[in-house]
Amino acid sequence: MPGPIRLFASRRAGRKGEITTTSSTVSVTYGSTPAERSKGGSLAEWMRDDLTDLGSLVGLRADLEQILDEYQPFGARPALLLVDLDGFGRINSTYGRSRADQVLVVTAERLRRLVPGAEATYRTGGDEFVALLGPTPMIDAVGSARQIQAALSEPVDLEGFSIPVSASIGVVMFGDRRRMDGLLRDADVTMYRAKAEGGNRVDVYNWELDSWSTARKREVERLAKEVDELRLQNRVLAEAMTLDLDTGMPNSLAFEADHLQIDAWRKRSGETYAILRARIDDLDPAQQHFRSPAGGKATVRVAQAIQDTVRQSDRAYVLDEGDFAVLLKGSGVKEAVAAAERIRSRLKNLAIEHPADPSRQLTITVAAIEAGFRHSDPNAVLIEANDLLRRASDSGGARIVWPR
């Protein structure tokens, strides 16, 4: 096993949990997160991970800055090993947070035993660890990484459970990068390539990985774009299924869904709602004159008239050819009858010709009903409204009806 990274005099290891510094006041700024910046306490607490007592991400970045500042790129080179446990989320969900934390503690102990030097191992967040090896040939660094990978992939025995564990390791030799962020980025790419190849393995950084990373990023972006397009298509299809193609108004599927919601709202809030059921008089869809272009245009004009007269808080629907409904939220029968009057007045002003007899105008029959205590469910409300509309149409139509 290669020796540990030599740490310099400005940060010397003291007793466990202590770090000796050359000044009494220290400002820690090494790429810390907002959570880390809010953490109080001594420099030692910043530099070490609370759970495992390994070095922290802050400590790693401090050490790397020193090493890169004084490292001379000739001869044997130091190595950085980025370790990530495979499928740790599964361990967390299967065995619980407490046991998952113990797996991290055991992993840290194994790593500490395998890597010489108290300041050469770090937990950088979650299930990610880092080991720094002293100057060594690449082949020896890779051999050490494989020993570590094999040791960390032994099952962890906890409270009667044998928890399977494996690790992926990315190896980066110092010298290819002179900046810390570039070195850490190379380690990330290498480790993630190892995981992408199935995990439980060791990969070594080389320049080809830059192309792999770029290609993978483009593939991820392409897939994300495809997902967005599929979501948009699904939304369009869902909307199309609930729209009447001729009028662009919500159809019977939309009415059923909205009616269930508004009735549930009534039961929760105690507020009222009303329904209008409307049908064009003398409309027989089997008659050819209503299937002609003129008949279709007349029906669309009626639908638009209904749409134009309802309040912004209300919603009109096309249930079938020449058959309509309106949901009036927060309204009683009085407001519903007033809405029906507006619809009939609008049609009268439009003077739409009857497709079978141009000398006649289209008329409409409207039933208005308020949902109340006598209605056990939305179907009961609708049944009463439909029955009112049918009886009014059978008796001549061209009027407004409601329970009296």
Are 202 and 280 within one domain?
A: no
Are 113 and 32 within one domain?
A: yes
> Is 319 domain-assigned?
yes
Task: Kindly report the number of other CB atoms within 10 A of residue 363's CB atom.
Answer: 17
Q: What angle do CA 297, 300, 302 make, to 5 degrees?
A: 115
Are 149 and 77 within one domain?
A: yes
> Is 237 domain-assigned?
no
The pLDDT, as a whole number, for residue 21 is 30
Are 150 and 299 within one domain?
A: no
Amino acid (1-letter code) at residue 25 = T
Are 141 and 289 within one domain?
A: no
Are 48 and 108 within one domain?
A: yes
Cβ atoms 275, 326 nearer than 8 A = yes
> Is 243 domain-assigned?
no
Cβ atoms 380, 259 nearer than 8 A = no
Number of domains in the chain: 2
Q: How far is CA 180 from CA 24, 130, 299, 386, 401, in A?
A: 27, 14, 72, 75, 80
Q: Which domain holds residue 46?
A: 12-206
Are 165 and 270 within one domain?
A: no
Nearest to 278 by CA among 245, 306, 308, 311: 306
> Is 245 domain-assigned?
no
> Is 367 domain-assigned?
yes
Cβ atoms 83, 203 nearer than 8 A = no
Are 113 and 261 within one domain?
A: no
Are 130 and 260 within one domain?
A: no
The pLDDT, as a whole number, for residue 3 is 58
Cβ atoms 123, 56 nearer than 8 A = yes
Reading the chain (404 residues) residue by residue, the pLDDT tens digits are 665 544 433 343 333 333 333 322 233 333 344 344 444 555 667 788 999 999 999 999 999 988 888 777 677 889 999 999 998 999 999 999 999 999 999 999 999 999 876 568 999 999 999 999 988 898 999 999 999 999 999 999 988 899 999 999 999 998 766 788 888 988 888 888 889 888 999 999 887 776 766 666 777 777 788 788 888 877 777 767 888 888 889 999 999 999 999 999 988 888 899 999 999 988 765 666 666 777 788 889 999 999 999 888 899 999 988 899 999 999 999 999 999 999 999 999 999 888 877 888 889 999 999 998 778 889 999 999 999 999 998 888 899 999 97
- Secondary structure element (H or E) that encloses residue 255, with its range: helix 252-269
Phi then psi dihedrals of residue 130, to 5 deg: -135, 140
- Secondary structure element (H or E) that encloses residue 43, with its range: helix 43-47
Please list, in sequence order, all residues whose beta carbon lies within 8 angstroms of the beta carbon of residue 68, skipping any fewer than 6 positions away: 174, 178, 179, 180, 183
Q: What is the CATH number of the domain that holds 343?
A: 3.30.70.270
> Is 235 domain-assigned?
no
Whole-angstrom distance, CA of residue 156 vs CA of residue 143? 23
> Is 238 domain-assigned?
no
Integer Rg of the chain from CA = 37
Are 184 and 258 within one domain?
A: no
The pLDDT, as a whole number, for residue 401 is 94
> Is 2 domain-assigned?
no
Phi then psi dihedrals of residue 329, to 5 deg: -75, 135
